[in-house]
Amino acid sequence: MPVIAAIGTAVPPHTIAQTEVRDFARTLFGDAFRDIDRLLTVFASAQIEKRHLAAPIEWYTQDHSFADKNRLYIEQGVTLATTAIHNCLDQAGLQPEDIDHLVFVSSTGLATPSLDAHLFNALGLSPNLKRTPIWGLGCAGGAAGLARGFDLALAHPDSKVVVCALELCSLTFLRADRSKSNLIATSLFADGCAAMLVLGTEAAKRHPSLVAGAPRVLASRSTIWPETLDVMGWELQEAGLKVIFSKDIPSIVESKIRPQIETFLQESGLDRADMKRFIAHPGGMKVLQAYQEALDLPDDLLRHSRDVLRTHGNMSSCTVLFALARELQDAHQAGEHGLLLALGPGFSCEQVLLRW
């Protein structure tokens, strides 16, 4: 089965404390809500300490056109993705030209040619590189990207597939949007990039040192629920991407996610108790609590997701890969199973089954 051999990450240079973002939000949203101090408690309850942003905080106090924000998305995105991919390949002792297929995931900016073509030039990738850009999956994109990388490596056992998830969520911020959804998004979202190397079975045999102790990808499952288009996503406006963020997300997790997970695991002859590792996209602390309650998870199983949320915030698609990168640093017993899980626009769920 395909193997996850390495993960590299990168964040932009501007680090900001959660308290500073809270003060920024008080200034911006204060006139819109009489109970602003009560609403600002979401910044503490998010349990985020710091985040990384594509621009200094002063940049967000001004209005910017969609075109200007998108230019910064391309510029910063190529830099971050180049760094993340180099960090990934350096761990594996591989060169950019060794990559056979690049899956590029993002939802926070637009580019044609897509950013994977920009990365071809920046990294010196093979001119025969296969490229699969994926746009619009939001927070589910990292898990979906891994699932598609698994599909490609399974179909082409000799291949070395890199899955790169890049999100610059802060560049979608609309200063004129005084909605509660934008306030919640301001308390959570951040910027980052993760790149993951997935080796097909035959490619893995040629790199035994890379795959010793690495997890195999056994299966994946995608689910989309009907009539849930308004739960999460973007609304394209003249000024850019306006966030859609339903307050019902934690309750949806509690009511819908357990049956999906149980069905997926049963297809592989497993159940929830067999999952010794649980790598969940940390959409927010309430979402993680909903996972824990719905699945009867012990605190320890979500520690990496909580830690990434605390130190990086919600970076949309790449966040779950940051949590997976931490998971790969832990010691594992041979035969242990793990589940990687993320939710996103649609409203949808992506699951990937792992075995060490």
Residues 210 and 254: their CA atoms lie apart, in Å, by: 38
The catalytic position among 139, 164, 318, 349 is 139
In the residue annotation, 139 being an active-site residue is answered as yes
Rounded CA separation 286/283 (Å):
8
Which residues carry out catalysis? 139
